[in-house]
């Protein structure tokens, strides 16, 4: 329970308290819109009734006087005010929600960047996708559905009770002391029942999305294994559970709306009876009696959407609980003393993902005396697995990794992103400009420096031919670049940094031999003074003879050969 309280305090701080001034303004605009609507209906009712009464008196041969301009101007004022305030409230509150979600999104991605590998691997990719999309978007209901509508209704109710007190104290007391507690009771019962149910529904929907995504990713494997129908049947059963939960949610909303309609109808009848009694006793005129009833009728505009709005509380609570650990993920401690990485030692024995280690102990060593190493091997021998081991925060029992002669500790892991550069076989591209794709994680790189690295990877002429050069949009996931161009953009990212250990996994994929040789020669100055691990299928002709080679092929009889 204390964890839930702490989590609630965190989200209230982030979504409410930090924006309290603007939230009050949004609430004021929402309240103003509602009041303009009630005043418009009430004054219109008074004016129509007064006009009818005066017309009846004139038809009967009597004399009567009615001021037309003042109430007519009031009606136009309230109508125009309602339109303007509604527009301002929608624009302002939605802008505020977008800013809130942007702030939360930054928190989430920072937390995701700080998560250790072991935590990342505890959830499927589909689950992380759900958290960063569906769950995040569910938080926009906190302001638009859970805070502003109920707060606006409560304030309108109180102000309307004060307005009634001007004309009839019994009317005001009945409206406030009977109607308001009944309203709060109905809403409290609905929230108590719906939060748990909508929480369960959100959990089922999340599970179904994960199952569908997982099935789509492994569709061919499931079909070959003959398990596709069984997996699909599991999804169908899950969808049946979801349908049952949704039916119960709909029933709860319908029941609460019925109770609110009964309450609303009873209030209208109560106010109408007292208004008629007041008119008969001469406490106020007939038009005033009508004016008292019509605002109560207008409350239906605030009452009827309320169950649907409050039903999102359970879904928002589910999203908040799932996002809380990620949003509050602490930043790793800085590396003590900023110790530079000078030696790397990796030992493997019977590690299943690198077949060579099953036959004999496998050892990899880089140091200032021996700063470069080529690891060769056919596809499937474990070159990428080897690269992955060097950047993981947790290692399997079959592996031991030492930095500077010591088993890599947590504080050394904190400096991993500054110490190590990994060019993996997957050329990841962002849906953004060329400049942004080059400067991932950097903010102080000059344009001159960007062009320098583009020259090194032979992309400068291509970049100059783009419509906006560095600021050209590369499409979703880099769809407007070829595989070879994406590879070189990924390499250029690392040329902008100063890591101590450089791991290049098939850096020349998609390049011809001559171009690979030129780029390799161009980046030699950058690699000087660093530890470099080169992972390739075979030794290229342009690689200097001084590079030692370690083979992962099973038929290799020697662990290391020097050309």
pLDDT in tens, 10-57: 888 888 888 888 888 888 888 888 888 888 877 787 777 777 766 777
The confidence score (pLDDT) of residue 526 equals 83
In order, the DSSP letters of 481-526 are S-HHHHHHHHHHHHHTS--SEEEEESTTTT--HHHHHHHHHHTHHH
Residue with tokens 């005033």: 288
Q: Contact 339/120 with Cβ under 8 angstroms?
A: no
CA torsion sign, 268 to 271 to 274 to 277? negative
Q: What gap in Å lies between CA 553 and CA 563, rounded to an integer?
A: 17
Closest CA to 489 of 419, 418, 430: 430
The confidence score (pLDDT) of residue 21 equals 86
Q: What gap in Å lies between CA 257 and CA 252, rounded to an integer?
A: 9
Q: Contact 423/492 with Cβ under 8 angstroms?
A: no
Instruction: Kindly report the average pLDDT of the chain as a whole number.
Output: 80
Percentage of the chain exceeding pLDDT 90: 6
- Both tokens of 127, joined, read 């689950």
CA torsion sign, 389 to 390 to 392 to 393? positive
> Quick check: 555 pLDDT over 70?
no
> Quick check: 451 pLDDT over 80?
yes
Q: What gap in Å lies between CA 468 and CA 479, rounded to an integer?
A: 17
pLDDT in tens, 453-485: 888 888 888 888 888 887 887 776 555 777 777
List beta partners, residue 407.
Answer: 402
Residue with tokens 């329970």: 1
Q: Where are the domains of the chain?
A: 2-327, 336-562
The confidence score (pLDDT) of residue 414 equals 52
pLDDT in tens, 136-158: 888 878 888 888 888 888 988 99
The confidence score (pLDDT) of residue 292 equals 85
CATH code reported for the domain at 336-562: 3.40.50.300
How big is the chain by its Cα radius of gyration, in Å? 35
CATH superfamily of 2-327: ABC transporter type 1, transmembrane domain (1.20.1560.10)
């Amino acid at each position: 329970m204390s964890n839930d309280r702490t989590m609630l305090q965190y989200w209230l701080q982030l979504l409410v308290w930090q924006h309290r001034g603007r939230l009050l303004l949004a609430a004021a605009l929402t309240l103003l819109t509602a009041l303009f609507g009630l005043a418009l209906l009430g004054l219109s009712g008074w004016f129509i009734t007064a006009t009818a009464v005066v017309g009846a008196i004139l038809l009967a041969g009597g004399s009567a006087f009615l001021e037309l301009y003042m109430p007519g101007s009031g009606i136009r004022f309230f109508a125009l005010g309602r339109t303007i305030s509604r527009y301002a409230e929608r624009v302002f509150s939605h802008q505020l929600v977008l800013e809130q979600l942007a702030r939360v999104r930054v928190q989430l991605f920072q937390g995701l960047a700080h998560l250790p590998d072991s935590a990342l691997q505890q959830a499927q990719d589909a689950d992380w996708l759900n958290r960063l999309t569906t769950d995040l978007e569910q938080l926009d209901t906190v302001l638009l559905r859970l805070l502003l509508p109920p707060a606006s209704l409560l304030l309108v109710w109180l102000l309307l009770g004060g307005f009634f007190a001007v004309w009839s104290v019994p009317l005001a007391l009945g409206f406030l002391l009977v109607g308001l507690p009944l309203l709060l009771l109905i809403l409290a019962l609905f929230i108590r029942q719906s939060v748990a149910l909508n929480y369960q529904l959100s959990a089922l929907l999340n599970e179904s999305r994960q199952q569908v995504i997982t099935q789509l990713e492994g569709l061919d494997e499931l079909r070959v294994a003959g398990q596709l129908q069984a997996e699909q049947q599991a999804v169908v059963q899950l969808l049946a559970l979801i349908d049952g939960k949704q039916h119960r949610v709909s029933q709860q909303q319908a029941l609460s709306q019925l109770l609110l309609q009964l309450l609303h109808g009873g209030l209208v009848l109560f106010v109408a009876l007292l208004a008629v009694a007041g008119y008969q006793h001469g406490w106020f005129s007939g038009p005033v009696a009508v004016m008292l009833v019509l605002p109560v009728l207008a409350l239906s505009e605030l009452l009827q959407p309320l169950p649907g709005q409050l039903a999102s509380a359970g879904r928002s609570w589910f999203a908040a609980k799932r996002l809380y650990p990620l949003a509050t993920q602490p930043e790793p401690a800085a590396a003590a003393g900023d110790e530079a990485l000078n030696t790397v030692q990796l030992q493997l024995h019977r590690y299943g993902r690198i077949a060579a280690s099953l036959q004999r102990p496998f050892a990899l060593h880089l140091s200032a005396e021996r700063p470069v190493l080529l690891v060769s091997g056919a596809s499937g021998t474990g070159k990428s697995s080897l690269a992955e081991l060097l950047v993981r925060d947790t290692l399997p029992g079959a592996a031991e990794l030492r930095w500077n002669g010591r088993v890599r500790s947590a504080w050394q892991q904190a400096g991993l992103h500054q110490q190590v550069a990994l060019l993996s076989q997957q050329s990841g591209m962002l849906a953004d400009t060329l400049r942004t794709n080059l400067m991932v994680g950097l903010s102080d790189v000059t344009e001159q420096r960007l062009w320098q690295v583009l020259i090194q990877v032979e992309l400068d002429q291509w970049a100059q031919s783009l419509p906006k050069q560095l600021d050209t949009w590369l499409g979703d996931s880099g769809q407007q670049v070829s595989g070879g161009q994406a590879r070189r953009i990924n390499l250029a990212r690392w040329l902008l940094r100063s890591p101590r250990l450089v791991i290049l996994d098939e850096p020349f994929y998609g390049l011809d031999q001559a171009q690979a040789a030129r780029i390799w020669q161009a980046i030699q100055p950058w690699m000087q003074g660093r530890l470099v691990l080169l992972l390739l299928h075979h030794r290229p002709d342009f690689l200097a003879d001084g590079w030692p080679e370690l083979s992962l092929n099973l038929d290799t009889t020697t662990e290391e050969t020097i050309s």
